[in-house]
A = this chain, B = another copy of it.
Amino acid sequence: MNTIGHLINGEQVNREGDRHQDIANPSTNEVSARVCLASRATVDEAIAAAQAAYPAWRNTPPIKRARLMFRLKDLLEENAEKICELITREHGKVFNDAMGELRRGIENVEYACSIPELLKGEHSKNVGPAIDSWSEFQPLGVCAGITPFNFPAMVPLWMWPMAVACGNTFVLKPSERDPSSALFIAQLGLEAGIPAGVLNVVNGDKEAVDTLLTDSRVQAVSFVGSTPIAEYVYTTGNANGKRVQAFGGAKNHAVVMPDADLDNAVNALMGAAYGSCGERCMAISVAVAVGDATADTLIEKLKEQIAKLKVGDGMDNGNDMGPLVTRAHKKKVEGYIAKGLEEGAELVVDGRGLTVPGFESGNYLGACLFDKVTPEMTIHSDEIFGPVLCVMRAKTMQEAMDIVDAHEYGNGTCIFTRDGEAARYFSDNIKVGMVGINVPLPVPVAYHSFGGWKRSLFGDLHAYGPDSVRFYTKRKSVTQRWPASGVREGVQFTFPSNG
């Protein structure tokens, strides 16, 4: 059986002290490989490699670092099919959806190609008489990234290309559930010319995470995962003197106004709620309809669309949804559905009990639709991370907004309306970091930045885009004054006018 090891100092390795864990295909639950779980010593080795590679990399001109990103983009495009197969086989999402994920990841590499522009500091002449001052954005040193199972290729690509382009070296710890695509992509990074040690990957679990969080050589940590772990990572990392940004959970509401184009909204919601089985931190998991008439029509149209959804193995692009990532996760989602019924929500469409012919052991669950969900229900307060859409009913737009604002998470939200004023009021006032106006998944493009508010993000700076340049560098301010009476005037004495 295939063993998935680490990438340390330019070499694929596995080490004696590591433990191991099985990797299974979610569509069949057949074990395809085992992944090494790095011991503290193995992580130490990766950090040491990154530390050793730092001085030379830091001094490499940004344009040279950028050129490796240009090359990496090409390699990612050339190897897209292979990468997406790795994603689908380990994560379960439909191949086309994996392609979408990878495309978004590549966009971050494209953005990193502009690093010479992005690193420009501010230069001020004459802050005082003949005194100049400027700022430099210098790299931090060794940075680490800890990434989740749900976007195994994209989230690592949010982090290390920009970190490395900024002049840092990096240790990535991908999800131990589906590590292969991230590892393969890192290998392409080396092939693109990133020097050994500049980019390292360690597979692992809590032991690896804790090593990264406590080692004094690690200067910064980027994390994406659930809110409790995000908070742990943020607090622990900070207590150990690191810069940390930790992205946590979400519960994203779509507010549907009476004037919305409902066919349009329903199409948008279908993809946003059920795409990738709802295992996305930007998935829309709640639709808040303003007015009962709006809600009734919405439910009807959603039911019609759900009836047409195709669920099956992710390698078949004809399918709309694949399996959930693990059997345990499927059980957890089913538990939420039972809880929703118990607490009084109306299960309009029940996706439980689905069997996919030929994939009877897969972690399949059909699309579920709840109506009449209320704010205090567990299916509203918790992030389910499954194919479950909750419809809530509000009498007014303000009531809908109050529901959104009262939630502990504030990652993404959207509104469906034609009305300029409603859209502006919503986007101005809603306490959520990423807002869509008739856009169901308002994930910012790679040249803007990604980040939620409230307990969806611990840290000051958002992911990727301009903020990531700031996160992966520290400001240095230089103030300069040159004393007079040097060579300039000196020469006048040397060569007097009769010279």
A483 contacts B264, CB within 8 Å?
yes
Q: Contacting chain B: which of A31-39, A349-357, A367-375, A466-474?
A: A466-474
Which residues of chain B are near A425, meaning CB under 8 Å?
488
A451 to B492, CA, bound (A): 32
Check B110–A70 contact: CB distance below 8 A: yes
Chain B CB within 8 A of A479 CB: yes
Q: State the number of copies, please.
A: 4
List residues 418-432 of chain A with CB under 8 A from any CB of chain B.
418-425, 427-428, 432
From B107, B135, B483, B494, A123 is in contact (CB under 8 Å) with: B135
List, in ascending order, chain B residues with CB within 8 A of A127's CB. Answer: 61, 63, 116, 445, 448
> A123 CA to B462 CA in the complex, in Å?
17
Interface residues of A, dominant DSSP: mixed
C-alpha spacing A64/B467, complex, angstroms: 23
- Is A128 part of the binding interface, using a Cβ–Cβ cutoff of 8 Å? yes
Nearest B-chain residue to A125, judged by Cβ: B136
Residue on B nearest A129 in the bound complex, by CB = B61
Query: What sequence of 0s and 1s flags, for each residue 58-92 of chain A, a beta carbon within 8 Å of any chain B beta carbon?
Result: 01111100110010011000000000000000000
Contacting pair B480 A453 (CB below 8 A): no
Q: Please determine whether A396 and B135 come into contact, CB atoms closer than 8 angstroms.
A: no
Contacts known (A114-B117, A438-B482, A438-B483); A488 close to B397, Cβ less than 8 A: yes
Q: Which residues, 118 to 164 on A, are CB-close (under 8 Å) to B?
A: 118-136
A328 interfacial by beta-carbon distance below 8 Å: no
A271 contacts the other chain (Cβ, under 8 Å)? no
Cα distance, A85 to B447, chains bound together (Å): 38
Determine the chain B residues whose CB is within 8 A of the CB of A479 once the complex forms: 434-437, 439, 442-444
Please tell me if A459 contacts chain B, counting CB pairs below 8 Å. Answer: yes
Bound Cα distance A448, B136 (Å): 11
Task: Judge whether A170 is part of the interface by a CB distance below 8 angstroms.
Answer: no
Q: A residues touching B (Cβ–Cβ < 8 Å)?
A: 59-63, 66-67, 70, 73-74, 107, 110-111, 113-114, 116-136, 234-235, 238-239, 241, 243, 257-259, 261, 264, 290-292, 395-398, 417-425, 427-428, 432-439, 442-445, 447-451, 453, 455, 458-462, 466-467, 470-471, 474-488, 490-492, 494-495, 497, 499
8 new A-B contacts, CB < 8 A, other than A114-B114, A241-B455, A425-B488, are A290-B491, A292-B495, A397-B488, A397-B491, A419-B419, A435-B478, A439-B480, A442-B477
